[in-house]
Amino acid sequence: MAKAAGAEFELRDGWNVAVRYGAHETVGAVAWADVSHLRKWEVDGAGELGTARRSGDAWWCGLTAERALVLGGTTPDGALDVTCNYAALTILGPQARETLARFCALDLRPHVAPAQSFRPGSIARQPGMVLVEAADRFRLLFGWAIAEYMWTVVADAARSLGGAPVGVEELDRA
């Protein structure tokens, strides 16, 4: 999907990563980026369901009282690498929350899901998880098998609000 949308790719840590979509790429009302290449680990303990905390370059997201999902950063001790279990998209911009509301059953209103919230539930009628990184920045995680479907759902919702895909270079600047 990214290639069809005009992405330029670079090899990073063994992954073909969409780094840009043209010379004038910026985050407008809403944008999305494929961040499936970012490492993901499951660890024992370290979490409370519904919450996430930033630690260095990683997000620690509580799955249960006994399990957490670590997104990014360096490999935690005793971690199980689950990078290939989950594809991921980041949605950002002033219309990010509205974009999600068009296909996501989770209540992501600011007073219910503030920054550093982590919500498992239905995303486009599929099981998934949403990390609220900031007021207008969300990371969606879902099974690899439905990655293309999720891209099209996000693209349909975002484009009607003036959105477009961005590469990880722009995502890093935003």
Copy the structure tokens of residue 15: 């992954």
Query: Could you give the number of structural domains in the chain?
Result: 1
- Global pTM? 0.92
Q: Is residue 53 part of a domain?
A: no
SS3 of residue 116 by DSSP: coil
Q: Is residue 13 part of a domain?
A: yes
Q: Is residue 106 part of a domain?
A: yes
59 vs 90: CA distance, rounded Å? 14
What's the CATH number where 92 sits? 3.30.1360.120
Residues of the chain by 3-state class (helix, strand, coil), percent to 5:
20, 40, 40
pLDDT at position 25 is 67
pLDDT at position 4 is 80
Alpha carbon 145 to its chain centroid, in Å, reads 16
* Model pLDDT for residues 15-62, shown as the tens digit of each residue: 998 888 876 567 789 999 999 999 999 999 766 788 999 999 999 999
Copy the structure tokens of residue 84: 């290939």
Q: Which residues, in sequence order, are bridge partners of residue 80?
A: 42
* Domain encompassing residue 112: 8-38+86-173
58 vs 79: CA distance, rounded Å? 13
pLDDT at position 49 is 82
- Summary mean pLDDT of the chain: 91
Q: Is residue 50 part of a domain?
A: no
Within 8 A by CB and 6+ apart from 22, the residues are 6
